[in-house]
Structure 1
Amino acid sequence: MVSKQITVALEYGLHSKPAHYFVEKASSFVSDIHVVRHNKIIDAKSYLGLLSLGISNGSVVTVKAEGSDEKEAVEWLTRFLKGEEVLY
């Protein structure tokens, strides 16, 4: 299992459009991926689950993955949450 805690640096947080792209990218990985915020754990491939975390700019979250491409999954998804990867 690979896990990484980061501070979200998306200007408007993880609202509908970036959440959609996050879930779309998470779904492209084989690994089981979870996002943790305030002890609430959700499946990173669940759009509604992700929105339920209320992730805003400055939120601290942990991305965890377990599977054959876990390292790549955590690396890409945390870069996206830090504003380093732009899909839209």
Structure 2
Amino acid sequence: MDLITSFLSNPIVGIIGYLLSLVAAIIAIVQYLGRSKAEEEARSLRIEITNLQANTKNENTVRQGEKSQYFQENSGPVNIDNRG
């Protein structure tokens, strides 16, 4: 126990501890600012997607046309088999 106490009371160890704490604090601040920026970007993209979906109009229509040229003469069941 005395060895640990004497090690931690060394001024060089204290300075290293303070420097590591300072670096950790700077990293935490940078990560927080980056997260805030990413959340703001995601929010603006979500709004943009919502606006695009609201402005998009589906004009696709399905109409029943003539029979296929391949099956005009066939009125029964069709078996499509490619095995051989």
TM tier, shorter chain? under 0.3
Give me the TM-score of the superposition, normalised by structure 1: 0.20
Q: Looking at CA atoms only, which structure, 1 or 2, has the larger radius of gyration?
A: 2
Whose RCO is larger (CA < 8 A, sep 6+)? 1
Greater share of residues in helix? 2
